[in-house]
Amino acid sequence: MESTAIVWNDTANSSGGTFYSASLSVFGANFIAKNISFMNVAPIAKPGDKGAQAVAIRVGGDQAAFWGCGFFGTQDTLHDDSGRHYFKECYIQGSIDFIFGDARSLYENCQLISMASPVPAGLKLINGAVTAHGRVSQDENTGFSFVNCNIGGTGRILLGRAWRPFSRVIFAFTSMTDIISPEGWNDFNDPLRDQTVFYGEYKCSGAGANQTLRAPYALKLNDTQAASFLNSSYVDGDQWLQPYS
């Protein structure tokens, strides 16, 4: 992935909307990518910028797998749009909501690297977020699960923002540096979403994993609650996911 990449530089402004700014869009089922990077090299988006969203890849097909791939951008890097997806040993870089969408996806052994601007000591500024999941109903079986991942980089960021009312994200066995803000999660400034989101953490580690000051609606999952999110069965992988070869 260090030597081969698909690159473009559209933004929401230049393409007619965030969803159309992707350097690559995948809508077919059974897509597989191995050892390649997807990049959007538009100018770095700053918090509050209008129309600066710039997607590296949009994945809207079912049963897509990515092995050892890189995803590079700032705001809205990876549009994990819809379907069942699997990411293994991938490198995902961004700043604001850099993994977003309404897919049901498992991320295993991935590096999640924030490019948000460093925050001066003493300021409580939050200038990024890893995820913005878009589940709109409790009847939707969608959500992002991160297992054995690492979160690092710069800035002070959230684990997730509730882009839609039933947003669902889980982090398990994941190492988090102190760039994670103590509250961890945000309801997108809609307190009604506190009752409907599903944000869970399970046996995570590192300075950013301390749950003492987490948002009150964040869950510290027990073994039973976490079990269904921890392996490829979460995305029905036994039905379609092929071993890496």
Annotated catalytic residues are 97
DSSP 8-state secondary structure symbol assigned to residue 242: P
Task: Evaluate whether 107 touches 136 at the Cβ level (below 8 Å).
Answer: no
Per DSSP, the residues of 32-87 read: EEES-EEEE-SPPP-TT-SS----SEEE-SSSEEEES-EEE-STT-EEE-SSEEEE
Helices vs. strands in the chain: H and E counts, helices first: 3, 22
- Which sign does the torsion angle of CA 211, 205, 80, 129 carry? positive
Consecutive H or E run containing 100: strand 99-101
Q: Where are the alpha helices (DSSP H) in the chain?
A: 12-15, 223-226, 237-240
